Structure 1
Amino acid sequence: MRLDVVSIFPEYLAPLDLSLIGRARRDGLLALHVHDLREFTSDRHRTVDDSPFGGGAGMVMKPEPWAAALDHVVSDGAGPDAAVPHLLVPGPGGVPFTQAMAHRLAAEPWLAFACGRYEGIDERVYEHAAARMPVTVVSLGDYVLNGGEVAVLAMVEAVARLLPGVVGNAASLVEESHEGGLLEYPVYTRPASWADGDTVRDVPPVLLSGDHGAIARWRHDERVARTAARRPDLVAVAATVGGLDDLEVTVAVPADAPELLVLQRACWMPEGRVSGSWRIPPLDEGLDDVVRGLGEWTTWVVRTPSAGGGPGRPVGSVRGRVRPGDPSVWESGRLMVAPDLQGRGLGRALLGLAEAGAPDSVATYWINTGRVSEGNIRRYRRAGYRLRPGEGSFPGSVDLTKRRR
């Protein structure tokens, strides 16, 4: 993976030479290029900011240096395949950075980061960049920092550690906080009994039992309890699919793509027969398209319980995202349930899961289905959706929307 960072404080990125990320750079797993924005100014004072039009406190970063810097990043990293980076701009007005987003970004070959300062970057820079590469404004949380460098450090570490070979024991990534929608369970090490002053604190006996089944159940229960206590908002999403025969719900990663493609084709074959055409997107896509979709949407996959230490069978999936350019609309799609499990309420639960993943900015839910898919249309109407007049977003389809309550 290649990473480019543009900042007026390039030395701020020095911590990326440390620990696992530094080792990944030295091992060639990660190529990091840091660019000083002031190198792209044209005056002797190396000016990067000016006062805002319309008045107000603070300064705004000028468009000319940023345009030159970003054009340099694109040309400097361009290869024979004419690829461009995905530009990420940290800002409190962006989409929330999550573990699911970290997984999506880890599947991309080239990321660039623009570290704003002061009152922000001239809005025209976003327009300039968007004409050349994908652009996403990303927020670490509902607070304001002095600049984007701290956020870039956090995002690079979250993404880079997911790259193969960066973390020595890949299994340690599986049950971390926010993997599968839950927080991590409590962890302990020696001694089994610790004399903490006048208090003796013991490790839970189940962890000393050697019963790996009991340990796994204890850890799952602790993850649920800890999530309920500390992040009840996450439990609300997970509870949407509660009680469905103990199925496992996780956010899909690129490794899930082959099974998702098989499930997708199995689920849309009946629609192809009814419509008389196999040229519909879910049947027309290949593996690369599914992988690309995982980078553009948050995709949940539902599996049967694991057996023998491996992943269970995928039996359902759904995806959702904020509509590009309109943060008030939440798009759901690729809702699919294995044919032998249809009619048991899993599809309804998955639709609820997708809706529950929408951020607070969303006022309207949107979904699309084939015009001939009368069963789907009835199900969506029962869930509160209403048909939009006219042709849908794709030929032969209809759009349905629902106002968020």
Structure 2
Amino acid sequence: MRLDYLTIFPDFFAPLELSLPGKAAASGLLDLGVHDLRRWAHDRHRTVDDTPYGGGAGMVMKPEPWGEAFAEVLSAGSDTGERSTIVFTTPSGERFDQRLAEELSTREHLVFACGRYEGIDQRVIDHAREIAEVREISLGDYVLNGGEVAALAVTEAVVRLLPGFMGNAASLVEESHAEGGLLEYPVYTKPRSWEGRDVPDVLLSGDHGAIARWRHAEAVRRTAERRPDLLTPSVLDDGTPIVRAVPGDAGELLTLQRACWVQEAIANDMLDIPALHESLDDVRAWLGEWDTYVVRRAGRLVAAVRGRLEGSAGDRWDIGRIMVAPDLQGSGLGRVLLEHIQAVAPPAATSYVLFTGAASARNQRMYKKAGFRLRTDLPAPPGAVVLTKRRER
């Protein structure tokens, strides 16, 4: 990948020579070019800005130096057959995130146009769109003195995704904003105890399945606390959202659970169903252990579903407690909840598993229609059957 930077402060980009980017450039993985925009200003003062038409505070960057700079820098890329993307770092651009970093990492040639003052003459951006792909990118909802800091941030996020850049590629999967969109779970190293604070016992257990479940739960908890906007809810056809359950939902979940499992008890002619005998404290406890989602209509909790990673390798997504209020059963809510809980399974999940009553014909029909298959070879709770499904990538 080739990266070029157009700026009036070339020294800003000295950090490109450090750490992994510097090593990648030295090895030939990256080709870096930093260019002083004043090279293409031809008056005695090498002027790159002027007062804005229409009046107003500040100065605007002139179009002529930019036009000449693009002509030279892009032609250098075209000589090697590279397709160029010009990145304008600006507070009025689209917000930068991991998905955009992944997209830009597929490009062959990025040219960063680092504006200053009140910005770059709009005609420069319009012209750039005629000669290359253009992306206007903002780091966030705040203003910097210039585009150089933003260009460095975008560069680091993008180039670390290039094949061969990271020594351990697995670290890209587990970090914040990677596949699954959650913030990264807390990490620990030696010593085991420091300043009266201990490493969580589960990380010392050697139980990889339990560790995977803990890490996913912590990632969800951290995301819910710090960036709830990342937990985008699914929406039913009528606009009703499917949202993550909170501890305060426990009482209504208990009521819904008993209503649903009375029906299961009748259908299967048995009362020895765990969900029928759980207390409010039991529901509160499993709310802390399962990823649980609920649907509310007119302020009433009418449906729910839960899932969590199971198995020795932590790669099986266990789906349970698909519950729909009796007066809404048959409306398609159960099907939508089943789709949702599969969609939110963490990246580590390679298969889905659930169980239902052996005589619950309607439930079994829904699960089979969704691609689940009966597994008579797997152990099931008394009076129940197990169904599984491979996860499609």
* Number of the residue aligned with 1:171: 170
CA–CA separation in structure 1 for the residues paired with 2:218 and 2:339: 28
Q: Secondary structure at the match of 1:236?
A: coil
After superposition, the Cα gap between the structure-2 partners of 1:103 and 1:309, relative to the gap in structure 1 and judged at 3 Å, is: farther
Is the aligned partner of 1:231 residue 2:227?
A: yes
Is the partner of 1:3 in helix, strand or coil? Answer: strand
| Number of residue pairs the alignment of both structures matches | 258
**Aligned-partner Cα distance in 1 for 2:146–2:27:** 30
Partner in structure 1 of residue 112 of structure 2 = 113
AA of the residue aligned to 1:161 = R
Give the partner amino acid of 1:101: L
TM-score (norm 2): 0.61
Cα deviation, residue 136, structure 1: 1.1
Task: Map 1:10-89 onto structure 2 (within 5 A).
Answer: 10-79=10-79, 81=81, 83-89=82-88
The aligned counterpart of 2:336 is 345
The CA deviation string for residues 91-117 of structure 1, in whole angstroms up to 9 with x for no partner, is 111001000110111111111110000
Q: Structure 1's 228 and 37: CA in aligned 2 closer, same or farther, altered over 3 A?
A: same
- CA 1:130–1:242 in structure 2 vs 1: closer, same or farther (change >3 Å)? same
Give the whole-Å Cα distance in 2 for the aligned partners of 1:148 and 1:96.
Answer: 14
Structure 2 unaligned regions, length at least 5: 236-240, 245-307, 318-333, 345-393
1:122 CA displacement: 0.3
CA distance in structure 1 between the aligned counterparts of 2:205 and 2:222, rounded to whole angstroms: 22
Q: Which residue matches 1:215?
A: 211
Structure 1: distance between partners of 2:138 and 2:163: 26
Deviation at 1:84, TM superposition (A): 3.1
Q: Which secondary structure does the structure 2 equivalent of 1:218 belong to? A: helix
3-state secondary structure, aligned to 2:33: strand
**Which residue pairs with 2:90 in the alignment?**
91
Distance 1:162 1:48 in 2: 34
Q: Report the counterpart of residue 144 of structure 1 in structure 2.
A: 143
Separation (CA, whole Å) in 1 of partners of 2:23 and 2:169: 16
Q: Distance in 2 between matches of 1:76 and 1:137?
A: 22
Instruction: Name the counterpart of 1:131.
Output: 130
Unaligned runs of 5+ in 1: 244-303, 314-342, 354-405
1:202 and 2:198 correspond? yes
* Distance in 2 of aligned mates of 1:347 and 1:147: 48
Q: Describe the shift of the 1:348–1:213 C-alpha distance in structure 2 as closer, same or farther (beyond 3 A).
A: closer
Any conservation in 1 of the 2:186–2:218 contact (CA below 8 Å)?
A: yes
CA spacing shift, 1:348–1:212, aligned 2, 3 Å: closer
Q: Using a 3 Å threshold, how does the CA distance of structure 1 residues 209 and 49 change in structure 2: closer, same or farther?
A: same
Query: What is the TM-score of this pair, normalised by structure 1?
Result: 0.59
Matching residue's letter, 1:141: G
Structure with bigger gyration radius: 2
Q: Match for 1:230: what amino acid?
A: R
Change (3 A) 1:80 1:210: closer
Question: How high is the sequence identity, in percent, across the aligned residues?
Answer: 59
Distance 1:141 1:67, change over 3 A: same
The answer (yes or no) to whether the contact 1:85–1:134 under 8 Å persists in 2 is yes
Runs of 4+ in 1 over 2 A off after TM superposition: 236-243, 304-313, 343-350
Superimposed CA distance per residue, residues 133-192 of structure 1 (whole angstroms, 9 cap, x where no aligned partner): 011110000000000000000000000011111110000111111112100000011111
Mapped partners of 1:70, 1:47: distance in 2: 17
1:183 maps to what in 2?
Answer: 183
* Letter aligned with residue 30 of structure 1: L
**Counterpart Cα distance in 2 of 1:110 and 1:237:** 36
What RMSD over aligned residues (CA atoms) do the two structures have, in Å? 2.9
CA contact (8 A) 1:181 1:238 kept: no
Deviations 1:246-305 (A, max 9, x none): xxxxxxxxxxxxxxxxxxxxxxxxxxxxxxxxxxxxxxxxxxxxxxxxxxxxxxxxxx98
Shift, 1:11, TM fit: 1.0
Deviation at 1:234, TM superposition (A): 0.8
CA distance in 2, matches of 1:312, 1:132: 49
Shift in Å at residue 21 of structure 1?
0.8
| Structure 1 residue 76: Cα displacement | 1.3
Using the TM superposition, give the Cα deviation of residue 345 of structure 1 relative to its aligned residue in structure 2, in angstroms.
3.2
- 1:158 matched residue in structure 2: 157
